[in-house]
Amino acid sequence: MGRFGLVARLKQPQILSKSNLDLWDDEEVKIVCLAGILPRLFFNRLTKSRQHRFKMPRTISLQPMADTQHTPQLVIYTDGACSPNPGPGGWGAVIIKDGSIHSELSGSEENSTNNRMELTAAVEVLKSVENPAKITLYTDSVYLKNGITDWINKWQRNDWRTADRKEVKNSDLWRQLLEQIEYHQVRFLWIKGHAADPFNIRADELAVAARKGEEAPPGSKRSSSALSTDHIHLFTGVTFKHAARVGGWSVILNWRTHVKILGDGCQGMSANQLYLVSVINGLGSLKKELPVDVHTHSGYLYDGATNWLSGWKNRNWRTREGDEVSNKKLWLQLDGLLSRYEVTFYLEDKKNPYCFLQEAKELAREYEQGFSCR
C-alpha cells in the first residue's frame, strides 16, 4: 500500500468539462506524507480518456498530520526546454529560502522531450534537498500538473498502463517523483509560463541555457513577449503522418490561472485542415467574450486569417484565379467565430516557442498515436 495522502483545497470547487473555461480560483494541490494513505485525486482529466469501471478502494480514516513547525520550508520553481521537440533538452530549477534564491540547478539530455524535461526538473530538484522539507513547487507545465493531480492515480491502478493498455510514457520519472513526494511534503502549484514572475523566468533561463550547452548569466533577463493576463490565449498543436494520412490536433486554452485542453486524432485530413480544426474547436468552446490571442506555428493558418480571408469573402470564396478556396467549409466556420470574438493571430518562432505550444504538439502526437491504435 502506498504511503501518500493528497489533500486538495479549493475556494470554489467545480467539475471540469471541455466546455467550461471558468475553472476554480486559487487552485492548490497539497501532497502530504501520511502513512497508510492511498493517493486520492480531486480533479477530472482535461483531455479525452475512455471511461473504465474500477472497484472502489476501502475507506481509510485520515490521521492527524505530524507537527511540521520545525520542518524546513522551501519554495521551488522548475522548468524544462526542448527544441526541436523531441531533440536536445534542458531543465532548470530555482530553490528559494527565506524569500531569496538559495541555489540553482540545471541539466541536459541529448535526446529528450519537453514533457520529460519538465518532469526531470521536478525529480532532480527534490532529490537535491537532503533533509525532509515542506516544499511549494511551482511549475508552468500542464503535463506535470495534471499528471500529479489526476492521471497518476489511474496509472497506478492500471499497473502503469494507459486506458488502451500501453505503458505510460515517462513512467520511470513518474515513479521517481512519487518517491520524492513520499520523502518530502510537496504542494504543487501551476503558474503561467513566460509571464512576470522572476523566479519562473530564471528557471526558464536555466533550462534554455542547459539545452544549448551554455551557462546562464547570473540574474539575466530573457527577452520574450509577455502574455496579456486579460486575454484568452489559444495555443495550437498538430502532428500528421503523410503516408498513413493520420494526424492529431490539440489546443490549449489559457486565461490567467485557468487552463483547458481539447484534442483528437483523425484520418484523411491534411495538416492545414487540422490546424483549422484546432482553432475552430478552441474558439467554439469559449463562454467568455474576451479578446483572444491565437499562437501558432502554421503559416497557412496565420496568413489565411490575417491576409487572405477578406479577399476570399469579397470574391465569394474564390481565389484570384477563380478557383474555389481550399478547405472552404472550415474557413466558413472559422470566419463565423472570428465575427463573434476579437481575435489576434501570432505566428510564433519555432526555435524559441512558448511552453504551451510545445505541450500542444506533444498532446497532438498522443492523440494521433491513440487514433492509430483504434
Options 140, 205, 264, 348, the catalytic residue = 140
Going by pLDDT thresholds of 50, 70 and 90, the confidence category of residue 374 is: low
Query: Would the pLDDT of 223 be above 80?
Result: no
Q: Which residue has the higher pLDDT, 41 or 81?
A: 81
Is-catalytic flag, 204?
A: yes
Report percent pLDDT > 90 for the chain.
52
Assign domain 232-372 to its CATH superfamily: Ribonuclease H-like superfamily/Ribonuclease H (3.30.420.10)
Q: Which DSSP string corresponds to 302-316? A: HHIIIIIHHHHHHTT
Q: What are the residue ranges spanned by the domains of the chain? A: 4-211, 232-372
- How far is Cα 14 from Cα 340, in angstroms, rounded to an integer? 27
Q: What pLDDT, on a 0 to 100 scale, did the predictor assign at position 264?
A: 95
**One of 27, 79, 359, 366 is an active-site residue; which one?**
79
Quick check: 21 pLDDT over 50? no
230 is catalytic: no
Tell me, yes or no, if 349 is annotated catalytic.
Answer: no
**pTM for this prediction:** 0.50
Matching CATH topology for 4-211 and 232-372?
yes
Local confidence band at 348 (pLDDT 50, 70, 90 cut-offs): confident
Looking at domain 4-211, its CATH architecture is 2-Layer Sandwich (3.30)
pLDDT band at residue 233 under the 50/70/90 scheme? very high
Q: Are 266 and 245 in contact (CB under 8 A)?
A: no
Is 362 catalytic? The answer is no
